[in-house]
């Protein structure tokens, strides 16, 4: 067993136009002051990283790492979620997803997807230059509007959607293999990979690709009412990244999982700051220690009530308190005694 690394901080919800959130050096200083040990950097945010330069220049990556080290920090992973989203976009979401791409590509879905795939390849190269082993992403979605089968889905619709999804992602996974990077899909509502069953369908279509892995975020499973502890038992061998995010689910006579189109504060299922929701993190951290999880415990702040800076400060402490320093000895070693093979046979009554 090994002790989890952390806390790391996912920067997507914190980067902004105002200081200290508008540059990596400033946000690093701020995060270090809150006790974070690493940063998960969104690869699409040019305020924080020049992805093209990081993919091509080892010197640039070394300077970035050196600057973070001055604050006692490192990069835990690159996040490519918005780029992954653009790999597969149902036409119903075209206008909204255009905001994730440069203005010149708006209204051009095929060109937008090609650009996103190029950016993912750059992020793979940048990850390798930064000395990383894992990269987070979304799968995108072609089938999500057909989630609830009424009118009933025509035969072959889901199969065709997943075959196309696998076709688009396979070259990216192969590039990950070439560069030693695990691609970790965040299993997330609105993505075609939104639960274990959908991930398994995709995994089969990419031939159980060794670089096809998982980012575990229990908050999304609370909102789906999926057993996240059982999920860890089933998929732990594929889980390489961990977003520590809390949530609560309080169904009423008016709404349940689907939320009635309500805003976040009025929904039965809500994301909360760490410790304010219902996720059993003691059990999660125990299972991750048991399964020898190799990655970082990364705070992802999303809360409809609490200020983000309070959430970050409290979240860093919360993660530190939950990381289990794994034991190096067995607790009952004191009662053990050496036994030779002959004695074992005797103990079993075999001689």
Least confident of 81-95, 235-249, 289-303, 327-341: 327-341
For 145-153, which contacts have Cβ atoms below 8 Å and span 24 or more sequence positions? 145/90, 145/92
Q: Domains in the chain and their CATH numbers?
A: 5-347 (3.20.20.150)
Q: Which of 148, 129, 333, 126 is nearest to 257 (CA)?
A: 148
Residue 114 tokens read as 């090609």
**Amino acid 335: pLDDT:** 64
Instruction: For residues 73 and 117, give the distance between their C-alpha atoms in angstroms, rounded to a whole number.
Output: 29
Model confidence at 328, in pLDDT bands (50, 70, 90)?
confident
**For the chain, percent of residues with pLDDT exceeding 70:** 99
> What's the average model confidence in pLDDT over 209-216?
98
Nearest to 165, CA basis, from 197, 145, 191: 191
pLDDT value of residue 337: 76
Query: pLDDT band for position 14 (50/70/90)?
Result: very high
Digit-coded pLDDT (tens) for 111-154: 999 999 999 999 999 999 999 999 999 999 999 999 999 999 99
Q: Tell me what pLDDT residue 339 has.
A: 85
Residue 157 token pair: 């619709």
Percent of the chain with pLDDT over 90: 93
Q: Band of the pLDDT at 313, cuts 50, 70, 90? A: very high
Quick: pLDDT tens for 66-121: 999 999 999 999 999 999 999 999 999 999 999 999 999 999 999 999 999 999 99
pTM greater than 0.85 (yes/no): yes
Q: Which of 277, 259, 291 is nearest to 222 (CA)?
A: 277
In sequence order, the β-bridge partners of residue 21 are none
* pLDDT tens, residue by residue, 157-197: 999 999 999 999 999 999 999 999 999 999 999 999 999 99
Backbone CA torsion sign across 252, 256, 259, 260 = negative
Mean of pLDDT values over 241-261 = 97
Which residues have CB under 8 Å from 211's CB, separation 6+? 173, 176, 177, 181, 182, 183
C-beta separation of 300 from 10 below 8 A? yes
CA–CA distances in Å: residue 194 to residues 83, 111, 116, 199, 308:
17, 26, 21, 7, 26
Q: What pLDDT shows up at residue 327?
A: 84
SS3 345: helix
Q: Which range (29-43, 95-109, 155-169, 318-332) has the least confidence?
A: 318-332
List phi, psi (to 5°) of 47.
-70, -25
**pLDDT tens-digit readout, 275-296:** 999 999 999 999 999 999 999 9
Give me the residue label for tokens 């119903």: 92
pLDDT for residue 258: 95
Q: Compute the average pLDDT of residues 16-41.
A: 96
Q: pLDDT band at residue 334, thresholds of 50, 70 and 90? A: low
Identify the weakest region by mean pLDDT among 33-37, 137-141, 332-336: 332-336
- For residues 206 and 96, give the distance between their C-alpha atoms in angstroms, rounded to a whole number: 28
């Amino acid at each position: 067993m090994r002790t989890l690394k952390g806390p790391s901080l996912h920067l997507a919800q914190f980067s902004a136009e105002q200081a200290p959130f508008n540059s990596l050096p400033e946000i690093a200083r701020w995060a270090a002051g809150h006790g974070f040990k690493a940063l998960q950097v969104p690869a699409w945010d040019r305020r924080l990283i020049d992805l093209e330069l990081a993919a091509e220049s080892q010197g640039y990556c070394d300077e970035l790492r050196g600057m973070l080290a001055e604050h006692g920090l490192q990069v835990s992973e690159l996040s490519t979620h918005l780029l992954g989203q653009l790999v597969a976009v149902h036409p119903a979401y075209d206008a909204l997803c255009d905001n994730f791409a440069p203005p010149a590509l708006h209204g051009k879905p095929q060109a937008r997807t090609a650009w996103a795939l190029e950016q993912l390849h750059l992020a793979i190269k940048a990850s390798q230059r930064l000395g990383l082993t894992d990269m987070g992403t979304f799968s995108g979605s072609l089938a999500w509007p057909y989630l609830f089968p009424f009118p009933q889905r025509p035969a072959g619709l889901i199969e065709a959607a997943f075959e196309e999804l696998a076709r688009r992602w396979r070259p990216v996974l192969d590039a990950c293999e070439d560069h030693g990077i695990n691609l970790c899909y965040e299993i997330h509502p609105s993505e075609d990979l939104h639960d274990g069953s959908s991930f398994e369908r995709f995994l089969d279509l990419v031939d159980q690709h060794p670089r096809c892995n998982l980012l575990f975020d229990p908050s999304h499973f609370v909102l789906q009412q999926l057993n996240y502890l059982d999920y860890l038992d089933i998929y732990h061998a594929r889980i390489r990244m961990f977003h520590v995010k809390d949530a609560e689910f309080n169904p009423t006579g008016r709404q349940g999982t689907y939320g009635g189109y309500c805003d976040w504060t009025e929904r039965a299922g809500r994301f909360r700051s760490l410790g304010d929701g219902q996720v059993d993190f003691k059990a999660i951290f125990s299972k991750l220690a048991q399964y020898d999880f190799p990655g970082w415990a990364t705070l992802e702040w999303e809360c409809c009530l609490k200020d983000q800076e309070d959430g970050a400060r409290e979240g860093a402490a919360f993660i530190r308190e939950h990381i289990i320093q794994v034991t190096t000895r067995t607790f009952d070693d004191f009662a053990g005694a050496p036994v030779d093979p002959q004695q074992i046979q005797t103990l079993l009554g075999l001689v």
